[in-house]
Amino acid sequence: QVRLVESGGGSVQSGGSLRLSCVASGNIYSKYCMGWFRQAPGKEREAVATIKSDGATIYADSVKGRFTISQDNAKSTLYLQMNSLKPEDTAIYYCAAQYYTPYAYFPAQCAVIVEGFGNWGQGTQVTVSS
């Protein structure tokens, strides 16, 4: 069983910055995909950014150049640095992870859909005011 705990959400004004953190614990492996998703009221959950254990990253077009996903493997922690925040970034942000056992097929690229991740955090609210 995997546990993901997010922190770092809050309220900021447009143009501000926040850094989200996600600590993973439990049955985790060295091969993985991790990501940040968000869900605004009345909308579907969407991928913001993903990172593979080899460091490869994928970003949604809406956040490219403003958000940075990173990881600290020693601390089993995932980060999302969010700069130049806009009101449309307002959402609940979720940490997600998919771990692969040593002999399992490891995809060349992380999925960018909800169904590609089997482990989820509880979410943290990010509110950006204009």
**Looking at the predicted structure, is the pLDDT value of residue 117 above 90?**
yes
Residue 105 is encoded by which pair of tokens?
């097929």
Across the chain, how many H-helices and E-strands are there? 0, 11
* Contact of 95 with 36, CB cutoff 8 Å: yes
Query: Mean pLDDT across the stretch 55-74?
Result: 96
**Looking at the predicted structure, is the pLDDT value of residue 32 above 90?**
yes
Mean pLDDT of the residues in the chain: 96
Calpha distance 115→40 (Å, rounded): 18
Q: Please report the pLDDT score of residue 26 as a whole number.
A: 94
pLDDT band at 75 (very low <50, low <70, confident <90, very high): confident
Q: What percent of the chain has pLDDT over 70?
A: 100
**Looking at the predicted structure, is the pLDDT value of residue 73 above 90?**
no
